[in-house]
A and B are shown apart, each in its own frame.
Chain A
Amino acid sequence: MTKSPEKPNVGRRKFLTGAAVAGAVTSLPSVGEAAKEGSSSKELSPGALPPSAAQMELEASSPEQINEQLAANTASAETGSFGSDFMVDVMKSLDLEYVFSNPGSSFLGLHESITVYSDNKAPEFITCMHEESAAAMANGYYKAALKPAAIMCHGTVGLQHAAMNIYNAWCDRVPLIAILGNHADANERLGATTWRHSAQDPASMVRDFTKWDDQPHSLQAFAESFVRGWKIATTPPMEPVAIVTDAHLQEMEVEDRSALKIPRYTPSEPPQGERGAVRDTAKLLVDAESPVIIVDRLARTPNGMKLLVELAELLNVPVIDIASRQNIPTSHYLNHTRKAGQLISNADVILGLEVTDFFGQVNSVNRANKTVQSRTKEGAKLVTISVNDLYMKSNYQDFQRYAPVDISVTGDGEATLPALIEEVNAALTRSHRRAIADKTKDLRKTHKDLYEESRRLAAQGWTSSPVSTGRMCMELYDKIKEEDWALVSVGASERFVSSWPHRLWNIDEHYRYLGIGAGGGVGYGLPAAVGAALANKKLGRFSVNIQCDGDFMYANGALWTAAHHRVPLLTVMHNNRAYAQETMLVQGTANRRKRGIDRSNIGTEIRNPDIDYAKLAEGMGVWSAGPIEDPDDLAPALAEAVKVVKSGYPALVDVVTQMR
């Protein structure tokens, strides 16, 4: 079926074997020399030796010289079938559209198979400037396309870079497939760099925040691992998985492709809550006088939003949307998110649907004196429906504080809603329905009042310079509201722009808002936006990213990726020239210690020099405007930027803003 290359012949892509593309270091001459000498690969044992003269020479070679060497090696190209070709076939079977990657020597075979064997289509290689960006792009892509993407990186240094945004995906329940290159067989390592880029157990680095990983040792096992990994990742609770894809396996020559089988993928049905517990929940809701629903990652799909609206309208229950996914339209009269504290403290039944931090919703924590106080009234019944208890790991504490509740339904929220709606319908009497209908007028008025209050607050500071976040967000909305828009990222928290989009934008579709970088790791916003915008490009949506300046500087190479791959994305900089969150926290600490706050800016402000984000964008081939300090200059700049994006390119508008 397959065989390992026993001698280092120079085939169709053998030129790539052992080449350290990520750096200028490569072991190609060793392979070439060995081929001339007819020695076997085992005899090379290059990793155990000091670099050869040829390797040393190549270290000092110019890119042109390296290319000449590559060309010489490919002169005798043959068109065989390789392990990595089969791997690409497996990816195709799952309709994997994109592999986000920065090139590296441990996955050269796959790199070549994607770009040559598969003509860089399905999957397409998206060039990223950092593995952390690659992982964020896969994260954003999933949330827009609702299907996984893959990242591909070294199992060592690349994964070290990617880890933070894999963690963000983990906290955000986003499935992504991490393909990790490695050289497990020490005898196959063709130089010092290859040794440094090899590990006994590469996936161990991210095992605490991936759902599953594997290290297949044959192509058939790879096929099963990949399909299994895809299935595990996309079964709620959805999470990233990692598959170590050894370079040796990628390079295997496949003699009989028909002997390799790709297993059929059958998606798992999401787990539903137990019917009796669902019925009990329905009874509580029906009999409640002032129930409230809290939602976070409920709507995995647009259907989740429809179901929630159906349930909420059936009972006329106000909804608090934490909005890690868009669960209920902001314009819906039952979206009372801005009144959360009052609703929770008055509620007699509180239903949490896919809320990770339910404890934090029903309790308030005083940071100053570290005390906890319940926000609920005496006797309030608490119910949760979620997959939180189905899968978690011990080390990282993203599972949040334990929340005692009256009914805990373990099951996927979206998948359980049809049964809950059915049970509510069955439990509702005529008098229930009359009482529920009587609430409509007041609920509509409350929603309108909340909206009017936000509109009034947005007008405050309207002419301020720096520009108020309310003005920035509303000028932006005015320019995009007639498009089929999607706010694909607001970085680590929408609160950084005082949640103006959720207060005043009509977020009426599931895809119009994709949540945040859930792990709070900085360096998510821009690359996640690029990944989502790539998905939206095919879907005909206009992608908008509100970009915090501190987050931008972690991963600004993602702008180049957007320019290079022609990803239409409007990025509006929330440039408050600070790590504002930390400014406030440092200030609070200094105040508590009575030492003055005059040094709170040290380490927290991004000034002296001020960064010119427009110039930075321009340097990467992205249309840009700014820095804008006069709020009256904002509308014309945004209008121009929208035109650029509608023509199919990225654009950036730098706005100097108030802190929040």
Chain B
Amino acid sequence: MNIKYFSSVIAPLCLFGFGAFGQEDPSVERGEQTFMRVGCFQCHGTNGQGSEAGTALTPDTLPPEAIANFIRFSPGRMPVYPEEILSDAEIADIVAYLEAVPEPPDPDSITVLKGLKVGE
């Protein structure tokens, strides 16, 4: 990994303690607000459930390094968010929010998702 990148992005994220915050942690609330403010929800859904425009970020939230990497250096359709627009601390909050999103229900527990025809 690029040392400069590690020291400028990943290390601060680690200091903020990705995944260490519970539901009540203020960073979760801040993260949700940032997630909405900077438009992440538009492609990834308000709960990070994903869409064809943006990959699912929950419930199997990627490691913080991978999320930070995508935000800073997206090679594809994902808009690049430089630090001037989204700080490392804000990214840490977003990850905290995503990790706090409750597990989705089992599809078999949802009537309209049960019993659908699969294959022939």
In contact, A333 and B39 (Cβ under 8 angstroms): no
CB-CB contacts of A586-614 with B at 8 A, as 1s and 0s? 01100110101110100000000000000
Minimum CB–CB distance for A266 against chain B, Å? 39
Segment from B6-14, B69-77, B87-95 that makes contact with A: B69-77
- From A332, A456, A469, contact of B51 by CB (8 A): A469
| In the complex, B24 has a CB within 8 A of chain A | no
In contact, A468 and B112 (Cβ under 8 angstroms): no
In contact, B52 and A331 (Cβ under 8 angstroms): no
In contact, B45 and A333 (Cβ under 8 angstroms): no
Closest to A596 in B: B85
In the bound complex, residues from chain A placing their C-beta under 8 Å from that of B76 are: 366-368
In contact, B105 and A462 (Cβ under 8 angstroms): yes
| In the complex, A361 has a CB within 8 A of chain B | no
For window 303-358 of A, CB contacts with B under 8 Å fall at 329, 331-333
How many Å lie between the Cα of A591 and that of B54 in the bound state?
Answer: 16
Q: A366-B75, A461-B104, A597-B38 are in contact. Are A506 and B116 (CB under 8 A)?
A: yes
| In the complex, B80 has a CB within 8 A of chain A | yes
| In the complex, B113 has a CB within 8 A of chain A | yes
In contact, B52 and A499 (Cβ under 8 angstroms): yes
CB-CB contacts of B98-120 with A at 8 A, as 1s and 0s? 00000011110011110011111
Q: A462-B104, A474-B113, A659-B53 are in contact. Are A594 and B119 (CB under 8 A)?
A: no
| In the complex, B61 has a CB within 8 A of chain A | no
| In the complex, B82 has a CB within 8 A of chain A | yes
- From B46, B119, B120, contact of A464 by CB (8 A): B46
Question: DSSP majority for the B interface?
Answer: loop
In the bound complex, residues from chain B placing their C-beta under 8 Å from that of A332 are: 119-120
Minimum CB–CB distance for B34 against chain A, Å? 12
| In the complex, B23 has a CB within 8 A of chain A | no
In the bound complex, residues from chain A placing their C-beta under 8 Å from that of B37 are: 598
- From A461, A584, A591, A597, contact of B53 by CB (8 A): A584
How many Å lie between the Cα of A408 and that of B105 in the bound state?
Answer: 49
How many Å lie between the Cα of A635 and that of B110 in the bound state?
Answer: 13
CB-CB contacts of B38-50 with A at 8 A, as 1s and 0s? 1101110111011
How many Å lie between the Cα of A495 and that of B45 in the bound state?
Answer: 14
How many Å lie between the Cα of A580 and that of B54 in the bound state?
Answer: 13
In the bound complex, residues from chain A placing their C-beta under 8 Å from that of B27 are: none
In contact, B43 and A455 (Cβ under 8 angstroms): no
| In the complex, A279 has a CB within 8 A of chain B | no
How many Å lie between the Cα of A587 and that of B86 in the bound state?
Answer: 13
Minimum CB–CB distance for B87 against chain A, Å? 12
Q: A368-B80, A592-B80, A594-B84 are in contact. Are A448 and B119 (CB under 8 A)?
A: yes
In contact, B42 and A460 (Cβ under 8 angstroms): no
How many Å lie between the Cα of A455 and that of B112 in the bound state?
Answer: 10
How many Å lie between the Cα of A504 and that of B59 in the bound state?
Answer: 20
In the bound complex, residues from chain A placing their C-beta under 8 Å from that of B59 are: 460
| In the complex, A477 has a CB within 8 A of chain B | yes
- From A331, A366, A469, A580, contact of B42 by CB (8 A): A580
Give the total of B residues in contact with A, Cβ under 8 Å.
Answer: 41
Minimum CB–CB distance for A339 against chain B, Å? 14
In contact, B54 and A455 (Cβ under 8 angstroms): no
In contact, A659 and B51 (Cβ under 8 angstroms): yes
Closest to A476 in B: B112
Minimum CB–CB distance for B52 against chain A, Å? 4
Minimum CB–CB distance for B117 against chain A, Å? 5
| In the complex, A466 has a CB within 8 A of chain B | yes
In contact, A333 and B119 (Cβ under 8 angstroms): yes
In contact, A455 and B113 (Cβ under 8 angstroms): yes
In contact, B105 and A659 (Cβ under 8 angstroms): no
In contact, B52 and A660 (Cβ under 8 angstroms): yes
Q: A455-B107, A458-B113 are in contact. Are A660 and B39 (CB under 8 A)?
A: no
In contact, A475 and B52 (Cβ under 8 angstroms): no
In the bound complex, residues from chain A placing their C-beta under 8 Å from that of B53 are: 495, 498, 584, 659-660
CB-CB contacts of A445-477 with B at 8 A, as 1s and 0s? 001100110011111111010101110001101
| In the complex, A26 has a CB within 8 A of chain B | no
In contact, B112 and A460 (Cβ under 8 angstroms): no
Q: A458-B113, A594-B85 are in contact. Are A451 and B118 (CB under 8 A)?
A: yes
In contact, A504 and B116 (Cβ under 8 angstroms): yes
In contact, B43 and A447 (Cβ under 8 angstroms): no
In the bound complex, residues from chain B placing their C-beta under 8 Å from that of A583 are: 39, 42
Closest to A479 in B: B112
In contact, A477 and B112 (Cβ under 8 angstroms): yes
| In the complex, B22 has a CB within 8 A of chain A | no
Minimum CB–CB distance for A525 against chain B, Å? 17
In the bound complex, residues from chain A placing their C-beta under 8 Å from that of B119 are: 331-333, 444, 447-448, 451
In the bound complex, residues from chain A placing their C-beta under 8 Å from that of B42 are: 580, 583-584, 587, 659-660
| In the complex, A478 has a CB within 8 A of chain B | yes
In contact, B38 and A460 (Cβ under 8 angstroms): no
How many Å lie between the Cα of A498 and that of B50 in the bound state?
Answer: 9
Minimum CB–CB distance for B54 against chain A, Å? 7
In the bound complex, residues from chain B placing their C-beta under 8 Å from that of A451 are: 116, 118-119
Which residues of chain B have a CB within 8 Å of any CB of chain A? 37-39, 41-43, 45-47, 49-54, 56, 58-59, 74-77, 79-82, 84-85, 104-107, 110-113, 116-120
A-B contact pairs, 5 of them (CB 8 A): A366-B76, A457-B50, A459-B110, A464-B45, A466-B46
Lowest 10 CB-CB distances: which A-B pairs, in order? A660-B51, A461-B49, A460-B49, A588-B79, A478-B112, A460-B104, A591-B79, A498-B52, A498-B51, A459-B107
